[in-house]
Amino acid sequence: MTDLILTFLGTGAGSPSRSRNVTSVGLQWVQRGSLWLFDCGEATQHQVLRSSLRLSRLEHIYITHLHGDHVFGLPGLLASRSLVKDITTPVTIFGPPGLEEWLRTTLRLTHTGIGYPLTVQTVTEGLIYEDDTRQVFCRRLAHRVESFGYAAVEKPRSGAFDAAKALALGVPPGPLFGRLKAGETLTLPGGQVVEGRTLIAPPRPGRKVVICGDTGATPAVAGLARGADVLVHEATFLTEQADRAKESGHSTAAGAAAAAREAGVGTLILTHISPRYESDSSSRLPELLAEAQAIFPNTLLAEDFRTYGVG
């Protein structure tokens, strides 16, 4: 079972519908016990309550741009987290210029106090975050306002320890396994020398997840998403409305698929779906998916509350 999980909390464009809330997606780092959110549209906190995610584990929020369907849920979510007893861990928000001014003003004018450390970091292109195992990069995209895509990149992971081989060499399970995992060379009671490095597989490439904000066609997507395991990309329109997509700074399903193909990603997940394609009487979602799959076969269509394991 994977320890890196995407959970879609909102997959609609512009305004909520009966089946889709506005944009937000969670990325869980299960072993670290941390949660990152990407965008926070209206009612995201309600969606969290209906999911398996926990605000107590929230560490970072990445905002792609300042259109309301991507940020209107942010003040409420932060305030509600502050009301939960014993949650004092810090939250860092990354986003475009103007985000901190809007958020701080909203909190101030509504007399909303935040009971934990809250930092807002204005992003520029390039590396914006790094810790011992992870990095986050961002690129400007092509929308009507400044909009960013984010790449969450895991650093190379240690190779797996071959316990079966160690047992076959006569190493008893227990503390000696730990020393061999650390690369030590041991001499067993019978005189046999066992080198830990021979029991450890080569380092494994880290995983890469890319989540793009609203965007029209731009080479920046492929540049950011090169070799990603998963690319989450908007698909607001079908190609029949390509002119409207271009005018509004959005993408068609075919455009998203072309970007995924150029970047050589593993899986494309379409989101930010216009309500026009999913009415009470009919659904054109199969057309949207088919349009993308004709160009990039390994394409999925995001749904609210669906989860996707990475790697």
> How does DSSP assign 129-197, residue by residue?
EE-SSEEEEEEE--SSS--EEEEEEEPPBPPPB-HHHHHHTTPPSSHHHHHHHTT-EEE-TTS-EEEGG
User: What is residue 37's predicted lDDT score, i.e. its pLDDT?
Assistant: 98
Report how far apart, in Å, the C-alpha atoms of 148 and of each of 46, 58, 133, 223 are: 25, 21, 23, 13
- pLDDT greater than 90 at residue 19: yes
Q: Which two tokens stand for residue 290?
A: 């088919």
User: pLDDT averaged over the chain?
Assistant: 95
Kindly list the structural domains of the chain, giving each domain's residue range(s) and its CATH number in brackets, ordered by start: 4-157+203-309 (3.60.15.10), 163-199 (no CATH)
With bands split at pLDDT 50, 70 and 90, how would you rate the model's confidence at 281?
low
Least trusted range by pLDDT, from 52-66, 170-184, 206-220, 294-308: 170-184
Residues forming the active site: 69
The single-letter code of the amino acid at 240 is: E
User: What is residue 115's predicted lDDT score, i.e. its pLDDT?
Assistant: 95
User: What is residue 67's predicted lDDT score, i.e. its pLDDT?
Assistant: 98
Q: Which two tokens stand for residue 274?
A: 């216009």
Side-chain-facing half-sphere of 43: CA atoms under 13 Å: 13
The torsion angles phi and psi of 266, rounded to 5 degrees, stand at -80, -50
With bands split at pLDDT 50, 70 and 90, how would you rate the model's confidence at 13?
very high
Among residues 240, 242, 210, the alpha carbon closest in space to that of 226 is found at 210
Q: Give dist(CA 74, CA 43) in Å, integer.
A: 9
Cα torsion 6, 11, 15, 18 to 10°: value is -110
